A and B are shown apart, each in its own frame.
Chain A
Amino acid sequence: MADFVMEAKHVYKAYGYKRKKLEKTPDPQKCVSSGSAVEAVKDVSIKIKKGDIKLIFGPSGSGKSTFLRCLAMLEIPDRGEIYLGDECLTNPGVDLNKARARIGFVFQHIYLFRHLTALGNVELALRQVLKLPKEEARKRALAALAEVKVLDCVNKYPSQMSGGQAQRVGIARAIARNPDIILLDEPTSALDPELTGEVIDTLRDLASEGTTMLIVSHEMPFAREVADEMIFYDEGTIVETGPPSLFFNAPNTDRAKKFMTRIINRTTKE
């Protein structure tokens, strides 16, 4: 048994260079194709234990989302290793579809399947990936929808739901498979403040059940309440990590200090 649910070692991902050249030289700046390469993830490592709730925050455009997508292998890292339990996902020949079935992913812009109802959205993976029989898939999908409290939307299409309802269906779609870990990419930032609350409540419920989660978010009161560890991410690297108390009192780095001040000012103004 591995010690960690998920572990990333020295993950590197950049855009805007010639990929073939990068395999030969370690310096991506030398293989820039046009303009300059954007290094979204520079040598980032992370370890997540079962039941951990970690929260990544930092300026927009700093590469948080890319890092999260790399962990789920939705983007293939250029270098580095990603482990899901004992399995190294970055090894060639690994069945990534099977691995992704064990990772729940929630998108900032939700990305529900628009031709399916809420039930259909949640059922699809259960039927087509886990190959569950119809009855059982339905039962589990309904249970997941009940857990995020959207049973009133079961037969609604995404276009007929509010943003908050849609995102909770998105969360149901991610948790219905009982994944080892759930990665959430700014699950509330596309919603207006009123709807943010209901999604945060859902996440709080998941947290209290011991769900392993890695969340990119700037919901500071929520972070303070549920996060075991906060990770400040800027310019493609982890700048500082620590418990919420560290960040809310006195972060060690200037950059984190500045960012926290700005965020706390913004929150209190609201």
Chain B
Amino acid sequence: MDVWQQLIFLVEGVPLTLSISLISFLIGIAVGLPLAFIRVYEKEIGFIVDAYEKIFRGIPEIVLLLLFYFGLGPFFPIPFGNALFVAAFVLGLRSGANQSQIYRGAIRGVGDEQIVAGTSIGLSKWRSIWHIMIPQVLNFSTPGLGSEYALLIKDSAYVYVIGLAELMTRAIQLKSIPPGDVVTPFVIAAALYVALTFPIAFWLDRWGNKRKKKLGL
């Protein structure tokens, strides 16, 4: 295979890499936001959040991927027999633990005076959090979220252990096609990873800062 063919073969894996990281990023938001607010505002059950964060930040993704896919997959083929599901699920839960910490700082940064103002107009505490805090917390978190997304793009490479044909899996496959070029596929893959992570992190950071300035956050 010449370089062009290799490039095309690898680029065909990009949509899957992007899907895995995007879905797990969204799962991370859905998990991380509630965890962060529980940790800050429901102190009595905050230890559950701490335990969750310790566990998912402490175990290597590769262990979790193997455990869920090969360990649970045979017993619960739905949903753990599906490699894409396991990939997004594992990376999403891990990202939730990371994002929870990002949001926690942002919640402290926004402050809780506006929740008091929210309750004063007749919203409940949790509806104040939904309507008032979450939009600001997400905005406040943009730099951290940018690097978290970059991390997910990179970590999606681990998924090759459960055989999803994303970017990394394809690079490894190319290596074993004669004559066995071990340099070009990985150089191309490395360039593609940079191209996927850098613009999004950069754009999020810039957009976030602009908006923060506008709102005086």
Instruction: Mark A residues whose CB is within 8 Å of B.
Output: 72, 74, 97-98, 100-103, 105, 107, 109, 111-115, 124-125, 128-129, 157-160, 173-174, 177
Report the minimum CB–CB distance from B31 to chain A (whole Å).
23
CB-CB nearest in chain A for B124: A97
The residue in chain B whose Cβ has the minimal distance to the Cβ of A125 is B121
| B120 in contact with A98 (CB, 8 Å) | no
Partner-contacting stretch, out of B62-70, B72-80, B110-118: B110-118
A111 touches B116 (CB 8 A): yes
- Taking a contact as CB atoms closer than 8 A, the residue among A115, A129, A174 that contacts B123 in the complex is A129
Q: Mark B173-217, 1 if CB is under 8 A from A, else 0.
A: 000000000000000000000000000000000000000001111
A159 pairs with B215, CB closer than 8 A: yes
Q: How far is the CA of A98 from the CA of B119 in the complex (A)?
A: 10
User: In the complex where A114-B136, A115-B135, A124-B131 touch, is A98 in contact with B122 (Cβ < 8 A)?
Assistant: yes
Shortest Cβ distance from residue A197 to the other chain B in the assembled complex, whole angstroms: 24
Known: A111-B114, A115-B139. A157 touches B215 (CB 8 A): yes
The CA-CA distance from A129 to B128 in the complex, in Å, is 11
Given A128-B127, A157-B214, A157-B216, A115-B119 contact (CB < 8 Å): no
Residue in chain A with minimal CB distance to B213 = A159
- Whether B123 pairs with A97 at a CB distance below 8 angstroms is yes
- Contacts A128-B127, A159-B214, A159-B215; is A101 near B121 (CB within 8 Å)? yes
Can you name 13 A-B residue pairings with CB atoms under 8 Å? A74-B116, A100-B122, A101-B121, A102-B122, A103-B120, A111-B114, A111-B117, A113-B117, A124-B123, A124-B131, A159-B214, A159-B215, A159-B216
**B161 sits at the interface (CB 8 A):** no
Which of A74, A103, A128, A177: most chain B CB closer than 10 A?
A128
Q: Are A158 and B120 in contact (CB under 8 A)?
A: no
CB proximity of A131 to chain B, nearest CB, Å: 11
B119 contacts which of A100, A109, A113, A124 (Cβ < 8 Å)? A100
- Residues of chain A within 8 A (CB-CB) of B215 are 114-115, 157-159
Q: Determine the residue in chain A with the shortest Cβ distance to B135.
A: A115
Is B132 located at the chain interface by the 8 A CB criterion?
yes
Q: How far is the CB of B113 from chain A (nearest CB, A)?
A: 5
A72 touches B114 (CB 8 A): no
Are A74 and B120 closer than 8 Å at their CB atoms?
Answer: yes
What is the chain B residue whose CB lies nearest that of A157?
A: B215
Tell which of A107, A114, A157, A177 has the most Cβ of chain B within 10 Å.
Answer: A114
Partner of B121, one of A157, A158, A159, A173: A173
| A224 vs chain B, min Cβ distance (A) | 29
Residues B122 and A129 in contact, CB atoms below 8 Å apart: yes
The proximity string for B residues 153-183 relative to A, scoring 1 for CB distances below 8 Å and 0 otherwise, is 0000000000000000000000000000000
CB nearest neighbor in B for A176: B121
Identify the closest chain B residue to A158 (Cβ).
Answer: B216
In the A-B complex, the 4 residue pairs with the closest CB atoms:
A159-B216, A101-B122, A125-B121, A111-B117
Residues of A within 8 A of B117 (CB): 107, 111-113
In the docked arrangement, what's the CA distance between A97 and B139, Å? 27
Please indicate the chain B residues that have their CB under 8 angstroms from the CB of A72 in the complex: 120
- Docked-complex contact A111 and B121, CB < 8 angstroms: no
Residue of B nearest to A122 (CB): B121
Chain A: which residue is nearest B120 at the CB level? Answer: A105
Closest Cβ–Cβ distance, residue A140 to chain B (whole Å): 13
CA distance A159 to B212 in the complex (A): 10
**Which residues of B133-149 have CB atoms within 8 Å of chain A's CB atoms?**
135-136, 139
Q: How far is the CA of A101 from the CA of B121 in the complex (A)?
A: 5
Could you tell me the distance between the alpha carbons of A74 and B120 in the complex, rounded to whole angstroms?
Answer: 7
B113: chain A residues at CB < 8 Å are 107, 109, 111
A128 near B131 (CB under 8 angstroms)?
Answer: yes
CA–CA, A160 and B215, complex, Å: 8
How far does the alpha carbon of A128 sit from the alpha carbon of B121 in the complex, in Å?
A: 10
A185 to B52, CA, bound (A): 42
Query: Do A125 and B135 touch (CB < 8 A)?
Result: no
Cα A97 to Cα B113 in complex, Å, equals 17
